[in-house]
Amino acid sequence: MRKIQTQADWIARAQQVLPAGGFGNFDPGIIIRNGQGSRVWDEDGREYVDYLIGSGPMLLGHGHPEVLDAVFEQIPQGMSFFANNTKGIELAEEICSAVPCAEQVRFVTSGGEADMYAIRLARAFTGRNKIIKFEGGYHGMSAEAQMSLAPNRRVNFPQAIPDSAGIPDTVAEQVLIAPFNDLAAVASLLSEQVDVAAIIVEPLQRIIPALPGYLAGLRALCDQHNVLLIFDEIVTGFRLAYGGAQELYGVTPDICTLGKIIGGGFPLAALAGRREIMQHFDKSLVGADKWLMQLGTLSGNPVAAAAGLKTMQVLRRDGAYDTLRATGRTLWDMQHKALTAAGIDHQMLGDATLFDILFTDAKVVDYRGAQTADARLGTLYNDALRQAGIFKSPGKLYASLAINADDLALTQAAVETAVDALCNAVLQQ
């Protein structure tokens, strides 16, 4: 077989063995060869400033030397045991120390698993069945999570619409959909429904921030109706602040889910919560009828735990979050100023550590508002950034601690090129 040399060759091979030619995560038209610090290179050797950072976990950048040292120290001692290990226990201790709601932790391998078990745990604890989630909210790939994640048709709330084939119709009966940032809608649902176990919410829904008082309002409604509040902090945990969104916003849920950063770039996630809730993982305490079975071959594996522990140690250092936010604010401002100067309608949405642009003049507070954005301009802008050496998701820009002055200068030039492309497109309309 001839030696594979080009990205096109790899893409052709992928199309033969992978559905849609990819892993299901990102554009299969690019094959990443390697990453170092703030940069990644594709199989043709083209270099990019990386604002995708593995969809969030590489907060320190690729190949951070201290993380690599921790991993290389652990690997000869064992990569997976399917048993307790000291690194996993230490990581659980650090999570409990850092995250306000965390009295105990259960490890899983992926964020989707963590969200699935959080929903199941809420049902086990309350003895109720229904879950309230928000239209456009992302909580992994479980059947419940795939309700009204990205519906292509509008229906009346609280009807749930499955976003995937293969989900039984009965699942929709157990999931109630509400618009994000609308406390009155949630209050109405809770007053009408007697079988609600929990509300699950991203405290920053994709890039849409909660309105002032909204998360505290959800907390109060949950307390009033004896419903559990679940914060999906897979993305926001250890990113918005060391203690996550619940630290930053001052609202403590009953359960939270964590992922991405806690594994330091390796597969690891967790759910955490109050001890009385988490005890449903302990059959000796709750009995067989209320016990929640959970196990996973790689859950809490020591390599991921070692990487996560070292990542968190670096994040605890003085000035780490100030630096991260300053970088994010610079990236935010350079794009906002360029688009404003060009007279292009847009909104910057998110947090300085995680945000993106929607090309709309409408105020966006929920999923339906986000759908008013001009998708064509968004695609054109992101494509132009990619061509100019910027690697990012179509819907998010992740700041990282690896970004330096050279990266910012390259990004500024790419933004100017992308804005020029938008101006030309608008003139041609």
Active site residues: 138, 232, 260
CA–CA dist 393, 345 (Å, integer): 21
Q: What does the DSSP assignment read for 379-424?
A: HHHHHHHHHTTEE--SS-EE--TT--HHHHHHHHHHHHHHHHHHHH
CA–CA dist 325, 241 (Å, integer): 10
Query: Which token pair is 159?
Result: 């009807």
CA–CA dist 189, 208 (Å, integer): 22
Q: Write a three-state SS string for 119-164.
A: HHHHHHHHCCCEEEEECCCCCCCCCCCCECCCCCCCCCCCCCCECC
Q: How many residues does the chain have?
A: 429
| Cβ–Cβ under 8 Å, residues 190 and 221 | yes
Pairing type for strands 130-134 and 196-201 reads parallel
Query: Which token pair is 307?
Result: 């990487």
Q: What does the DSSP assignment read for 275-323?
A: HHHHGGG-HHHH-TTT------TTTT-HHHHHHHHHHHHHHTSTTHHHH
In 3D space, the residue among 335, 365, 271 whose CA is nearest the CA of residue 51 turns out to be 335
Kind and range of the H or E run holding 17 = helix 7-17
CA–CA dist 324, 56 (Å, integer): 13
CA atoms within a 13 Å half-sphere pointing along the CA-CB vector of 361: 4
CA–CA dist 104, 220 (Å, integer): 23
CA of residue 139 relative to chain centroid, distance: 9
Query: Which token pair is 366?
Result: 């929920």
